[in-house]
Amino acid sequence: MRADPIRYDCDTLCGTWPARAELDFRPAAVRAKLTAAGIETGLVCSGRGAWFDDVDGNTETLAAGPGFLPVATINLRHALRAEAELDRMVAAGVRAVRLFGPLQGCEPVFPGYRHVVDAVLARGLLPLVEGDVRGCWPAFADRGARVVFLDVHAYHVADFVLLARREPGFVASTRLLNAPDSIETVVGEVGAEHLVFGSRTPLHDTSPATLRMRGARLSDADWAAVTGGTLEALLEKP
Amino acid sequence: MKNHPVIDVHGHWGPWFFAMDIGDVAENLRVMDEWGISLQIVSASEAVTYDAPGGNAKLAEILAANPRLRGYLVANPNDPAATEADLKRYAGSGLFCGVKIHTGYPRREISSPQMRDTFALLDEYAATILIHTWGGDVLDLPGLLAANPRLRVIAAHMGANRWDLAAEAARGCDRLYLEPSCSITDAGQVAHVAARVPATQLLFGTDATLIDPAVSFGLVEDAALDPATAEALYWRNAAALFDLAAPAQAAYAAR
């Protein structure tokens, strides 16, 4: 099993989380969990933005501190101010945006969702997308989009591979690719440029994702890509 | 690798209908070796999802050739006659040590009359049952156990997204056991359960080869259990429940 550092985790959270009020979402506590798991940098987003207020949430995210790369969120239920908030975050140096569609009750076909996707892609930001990839992919298709789908499940590997074959920028998080061969299948079918490591710390336990990643039967180059290089390339300005 | 045996009480053999190349028993043995699993108790995926007697028969042949595996006979709650025939067919074979019941594929809830009748049938055989639980249905198990005093039941996935309810169900029912296998990796679930349920009722399951054992090992590791509780969970409780102490220790010593 590999002991190398995992350079990037695409899926970490801070702030508070009302459904799991007993968990410690303070940045220092999250940072400690990531460090213990050998994860160098977490792409982090505040739960405040997901649940309640995107502007205040994004300000909270920007203050997360060292060891994090801040990720904006946009309230899909209040898309009228999306562009102004995205511009504010771009000016602050943010390179990625997380869309909490299922948590906010917003389907990819809703006008607000479509508007936000257009605004995100127009600014060259990387969307990190929650929800079933089989339903949310059309909002990003046929436009050269680079997208990380955070909830691709082992059960949906066939659908994701078929999408990735036609969309070079479609990327899955490893978190739910938990069959004994699903990480290997995605890399084997479409390449390590379609996969990035994610754990959803601290909402989820960290070790299920890290142990699976560390045991993945990949070449050194592919393992390095999934745990860092692929995400680094995605975050470069187009 | 642990410095003691590990018994996986929730395994499968055979292919699934997803894009996975995992049907061969060699994959069971590969993940067992990778993770230091001494013994694995498996049900046939075909039996769980479609044809219980047919899948059970195929699994019997696999079990006979693979001494590190033990079997669950799958009971379809819609077909009690087939369940009873299989119980009689394999009695004394030494291949099967429990009964697996799903709720989703046969579309029968734990609260259904068909499940009530199946549990009553299995009570005559003093069976140990591994049953799929998801959400609040785990709360229906203590009542079924009260009505069937010879049964012992493992709540698979420990309620999945309602592991809190699984803890409630098990803390007052000493014949109800919990195992953590699941895609849902909610933080702290194993620690929550272990703080509320007697350590004698905790078991280790992986759902392999549908799910990689990394997930369940990770869930347990993040719970930071004390060493005695961890050993109870990883193997001692299962060894007592299924009378597997000697073969588990032998498999561990031979690794």
| Contact state of B183 with A178 under an 8 Å Cβ cutoff | yes
Distance from CA of B195 to the nearest CA of A (A): 14
> Predicted confidence band at B71 (pLDDT cuts at 50, 70, 90)?
very high
Domain holding A129, by residue range, is 6-236
Average pLDDT on B128-150 reads: 98
Length of chain A: 238
Rounded Cα–Cα distance for residues B77 and A133 (Å): 34
> Looking at domain B10-242, does it have CATH number 3.20.20.140?
yes
pLDDT for res B198: 98
B44–A contact, CB cutoff 8 A: no
> Predicted confidence band at B163 (pLDDT cuts at 50, 70, 90)?
very high
Of A154, A158, A206, the CB nearest to B222: A206
Contacts of B210 in chain A (CB under 8 A): 179
* Per-residue three-class SS string for A56-98: HHHHHHHCCCCCEEECEECCCCCHHHHHHHHHHHHHCCCCEEE
Contact B201, B227 (CB under 8 A): no
Determine the residue among B18, B30, B32 to mutate to test chain A binding: the one whose Cβ has the most chain A Cβ atoms within 10 Å: B18
Asked, for residue A1, whether it belongs to a domain, the answer is no
Question: How many Cα atoms are found within 13 Å in the side-chain-facing hemisphere of A29?
Answer: 12
Alpha carbon of A214 to those of A1, A59, A156, A208: distances in Å?
A: 6, 34, 22, 10
- Cβ count near A14 (within 10 Å): 29
Contact A223, A198 (CB under 8 A): no
Contact B112, B80 (CB under 8 A): no
> Predicted confidence band at B150 (pLDDT cuts at 50, 70, 90)?
very high
A155–B contact, CB cutoff 8 A: yes
B209–A contact, CB cutoff 8 A: yes
Going along B5-95, which residue ranges are E strands?
A: 7-13, 39-44, 69-74
Contacts of A154 in chain B (CB under 8 A): 18, 20, 183, 211
pLDDT for res A238: 63
CATH assignment of the domain containing A10 = 3.20.20.140
Going along B19-95, which residue ranges are E strands?
A: 39-44, 69-74
Among A175, A157, A176, CA closest to A165: A157
Asked, for residue A131, whether it belongs to a domain, the answer is yes
Average pLDDT on B58-69 reads: 98
Among B203, B215, B190, CA closest to B244: B203
> Predicted confidence band at B1 (pLDDT cuts at 50, 70, 90)?
confident
Quote ipTM for the complex.
Answer: 0.96
A36–B contact, CB cutoff 8 A: no
Q: What is the mean pLDDT of each run of 10 residues along chain A (238 residues)?
A: 97 97 97 98 97 97 97 97 98 98 98 98 98 98 97 98 98 98 98 98 98 98 98 88
B25–A contact, CB cutoff 8 A: no
Rounded Cα–Cα distance for residues B129 and B101 (Å): 7
**What is the number of domains present in chain A?**
1
Mean pLDDT estimate for chain B: 97
